[in-house]
Amino acid sequence: MSSLVSGATNFRDVGGLPAGSTRTRDGVLFRSGNLVHVDDAGLQTLAALGLRRIVDLRDDDEVRYAPSRLEGLPVEVERIPLFLGSVESFFERDVSLGELYDELVEGSADRIVAAVRAIGGAAPVLVHCTVGKDRTGVTVAIALAAAGVDRNAVVDDYALTEHLLPAERNRRVIAGIRALHPGNRHAEELATRSPAGVMRAFLERLDARYGSPADFLRAHGMGDEELAGLRSTLLHEAVLR
């Protein structure tokens, strides 16, 4: 089930995803890009969703440049910046999406755990970054996988993002990156794409290194009771696996 919030890019509900014999709950976990352009109708929709918490994964500069429009909403905003370097640095170093995601889990594991805890602790919850693709994609994928959502469904939810990004936005962003970094090989992938294969390979690397996405969270401080609570929050009749 998806929910359109006027003025927000890439906004959706991750309810209805298969998880063994059950599914994720509707109206519990939402994901999106930034909320700077949310209009009055969008604010009304956000209010109707009954959000208790918004987890903002952006850094201070991004927040200053594009502050969320949340006037009048009785919602807690929890800031958990995931990038340890600037967004610009990834284009300067010409990293691939897979390398970016590996850097996220290696350099920001404690923050990913904090974000997943925030998801489990106050639903309905919205997780967002600037585009809702990479930091949000990694965080939501780990949370869903750790809760027992079927791997194909986790990957498909991640891959949906590139189909929801406006074409004009993509053209503008890529042109800006090319102007600054004309030799960049990964500009289009980093800025506009969310290939299923990239997320599948990323999750497989977590499996190989830690045992599973849930074990990744355990290795960085999340307890079994917290994981059980995450499953209970996200799934209908959640069953521990």
Tens digit of each residue's pLDDT (9 = 90 or more) over 178-227: 777 777 777 778 888 899 999 999 999 999 999 999 999 999 999 999 99
Report the alpha-carbon distance of residue 34 to residue 63 in Å, rounded. 9
Report the alpha-carbon distance of residue 173 to residue 33 in Å, rounded. 15
Examine residue 236 and state whether it is found in any structural domain, yes or no.
Answer: no
Integer CA distances (angstroms), 224 to 34, 95, 111, 217, 241, in order: 32, 34, 18, 10, 11
Report the alpha-carbon distance of residue 178 to residue 173 in Å, rounded. 9
Kindly indicate the confidence band of residue 87, based on its pLDDT and cuts at 50, 70 and 90: low
Report the alpha-carbon distance of residue 129 to residue 120 in Å, rounded. 18
Report the alpha-carbon distance of residue 190 to residue 206 in Å, rounded. 21
Cβ burial 213-240 (10 Å sphere, 16+ → b, else e): bbbbbbebebeeebbebbbbbbbeebee
Rounded mean pLDDT, 137-141: 98
Examine residue 23 and state whether it is found in any structural domain, yes or no.
Answer: yes
Kindly indicate the confidence band of residue 2, based on its pLDDT and cuts at 50, 70 and 90: very low
Examine residue 116 and state whether it is found in any structural domain, yes or no.
Answer: yes
Contact 151, 145 (CB under 8 A): yes
What is the domain extent for residue 124? Answer: 12-226
Contact 31, 138 (CB under 8 A): no
What integer best gives the mean pLDDT of the chain? 91
Paired strand residues for 79: 56
Examine residue 241 and state whether it is found in any structural domain, yes or no.
Answer: no
- Crossing angle, helix 97-107 and helix 109-121, to 10 degrees? 80
The reported pLDDT for the residue numbered 1 is: 39
Paired strand residues for 127: 31, 55
Specify the CATH number for the domain of residue 111: 3.90.190.10
Report the alpha-carbon distance of residue 230 to residue 50 in Å, rounded. 19
Examine residue 74 and state whether it is found in any structural domain, yes or no.
Answer: yes
Kindly indicate the confidence band of residue 83, based on its pLDDT and cuts at 50, 70 and 90: confident
Examine residue 4 and state whether it is found in any structural domain, yes or no.
Answer: no
**How does pLDDT run across 39-80, given as a tens digit for each residue?**
999 999 999 999 999 999 999 989 999 999 999 999 999 999
Kindly indicate the confidence band of residue 88, based on its pLDDT and cuts at 50, 70 and 90: low
Examine residue 43 and state whether it is found in any structural domain, yes or no.
Answer: yes
- Percent of the chain beyond pLDDT 90? 77
- Percent of the chain beyond pLDDT 70? 94
Contact 22, 238 (CB under 8 A): yes
**What are the two backbone dihedrals, phi and then psi, of residue 132, each rounded to the nearest 5 degrees?**
80, 25
Examine residue 5 and state whether it is found in any structural domain, yes or no.
Answer: no
User: Where are the alpha helices (H) located in the chain, listed in sequence order?
Assistant: 40-49, 60-65, 87-93, 97-107, 109-121, 135-147, 151-159, 161-164, 167-180, 187-192, 196-210, 213-219, 224-234
Question: Total structural domains in the chain?
Answer: 1
Q: Cis peptide before 124, with omega less than 30 degrees from 0?
A: yes
Q: Is the pTM of this model over 0.85?
A: yes
89 vs 26 pLDDT, higher one? 26
